[in-house]
Amino acid sequence: MALVKTSKVQPHHMRAEVDKSSDDARSVSSEASSLRDRVAFKLKAARQQQHFSLRALAARTGFSASFLSQVELGQVSPSLGSLDRIAQALGMHLSDLLSEPAATNGPVVHHRSRASLRSEWSNATIESLLPADVQGKIGVVLVGLEPGGQSGRWSSLSVAGKELAFCIRGKATVTISDQRYHLGEGDSIFYDTLQTSRWENTGKRKTEILLISLRSL
């Protein structure tokens, strides 16, 4: 299926998920998953290791200190884009947050043991496809968007970066800066991560997108 480029999207049509944390998260139930707890722990540990206060991290991300505190406590479910922005500010990829502890499988990540983090805000899941001991400038995640799901605004804090997105199944609409593109199964798109991007599933069935990111963190 060909990649289709459509007309520009006007600014007033775009939701500001990153600018307003109150619109970028929904309260989650008290039964926080072990994975969400681990992600929250990793974020807090990385922040403290780098001697960042919540206010300092807030200045780097554009979020409020209170919102970041809620994320670290597992009290809110941020959009995928917001979680990625926080990870970047700490020099991490989403893959680093989601990867399981090192096991005996070596370089193999088995499907049955792959952890899946759900974002209530995005109505989506995200999984890391990399082993836990992979360190570097690459991030590889599988994003699953339910019908009506959206990623929130993704943007890079790094000087340079590239991202390749491959639509494994379903259909996806991606907005890069002010341009909107439609992807079907088997379609891919390659773009500069300094451009703001947003993913959306406007179809009637689940969409899966493979994201491969190369960044200077």
* Domain locations along the chain: 4-215
Cβ partners under 8 Å of residue 159, min gap 6: 216
Q: What CATH topology corresponds to 4-215?
A: Jelly Rolls (2.60.120)
CA nearest to 82, candidates 143, 16, 137, 144: 16
The model's pTM: 0.76
Give the confidence band of 101 by pLDDT, cuts at 50, 70, 90.
low
Percentages helix, strand, coil for the chain (3-state, rounded to 5) are 25, 30, 40
Give residue-wise pLDDT tens across range 20-63: 444 444 443 433 357 788 889 989 999 999 999 999 999 999 99
CB contact at 8 A, 83 and 143: no
